[in-house]
Amino acid sequence: MSDYRFFDRLRADAAAERRAIVAGLLANTPAIAPKHFYDSVGCALFGAICELPEYYPTRTERAIFVEHREEIAEAIGSGRQFVDLGAGDCCKAQGWLPFLAPTRYIAVDIAGDALARALARMAPEFPELEVTGIVADFTRGLDLRNDLGDAPTMFFYPGSSIGNFLPGEARRFLSDIQLHCIASEASGRSGLLIGVDTKKESRRLTAAYDDALGVTAAFNRNMLRHVNDIIASNFDPAAFAHVAFYNERQGRVEMHLAARAPQVVRIDGTSRTFATGDLIHTEYSYKYTPAEFTTLLQEAGFACVRCWQDPARDFAVYWAT
């Protein structure tokens, strides 16, 4: 079965998404949701970010997976559906398939073109595996019950993407996953394998989001080009500077775009004036100690949690059921 099924559920939400972007840009504190980083250019830039020396999360998570692969696979068990949330190029999930022998692989991502390319590459490599791609925005609510049925399911959410949610939103999202786990436990235990970045010194955290080569800056500014495509605005990405810092009190890295000079931007039939230094918020990335994240999982309804970390405790991987 080298073919795959593909469903685009994002198109039906396109008008609502345009309205949400416009509302965010016209708010008192303008903001763009981080999911809008990921057009085709943004996906490529993020892939480059993951290989930067400053950006430790990807390689550290990968090292944990390699070091503890068999132990993690034993804890999870084989024969489950594998739901890859924010699948991207599917490479992280692909490394697990021989160890977990899933019955199905369901990849969910907001970037439809990139997901289709990834599945077209991956599906022929696993001809006996049923492969499905779903283009959807699960940050607005996770609803895969009709896709999953009652088969035991492993949800996979690596890369510390959970940090992009505000803590209350993260709790609700994890609760959504837990409800899916409960619904799919008719024939076995379901659960979540998730990667989470930890709190550490401010210098390292800031550098990870403000690299010397400026790749993250290009990634941040590219969001404006993507927004122009969606809402027909006329942002000039070069007219905004990348800003990133660790907010220690809040336990999060913040990313913004700062206007380099006064400017007026056309937004959906109206306009917004930006003074020099005015900020557009683009991302939070919350960091959690193991104790904090274990508590968050338990508040979301997960009962049993196991945790693996690298020797420096820079990153953590959790299996929760």
The Cβ of residue 262 has, within 10 Å, a number of other Cβ atoms equal to: 12
Reply yes or no on domain 54-200+287-320 having CATH 3.40.50.150.
yes
- Tens of pLDDT, residue by residue over 31-89, are 999 999 999 999 999 999 999 999 999 999 999 999 999 999 999 999 999 999 999 99
What is the overall mean pLDDT for the chain?
A: 95
The whole-number average pLDDT for the span 147-175 is 95
- Tens of pLDDT, residue by residue over 188-219, are 689 999 999 999 999 999 999 999 999 999 99
Predicted confidence band of residue 187 (pLDDT cuts 50, 70, 90): low
H/E stretch holding 22 = helix 14-26
- Asked whether the predicted pLDDT for residue 15 surpasses 90, the reply is no
CB 284, CB 252: distance < 8 Å: yes
3-12, 238-247, 297-306: which is most confident:
238-247
Helix (H/G/I), strand (E/B), else coil: 162: helix
- Tens of pLDDT, residue by residue over 90-102, are 999 999 999 999 9
Q: What is the pLDDT of residue 266?
A: 96
Nearest CA among 20, 46, 37 for reference residue 257: 37
CB 184, CB 81: distance < 8 Å: yes
CB 137, CB 21: distance < 8 Å: no
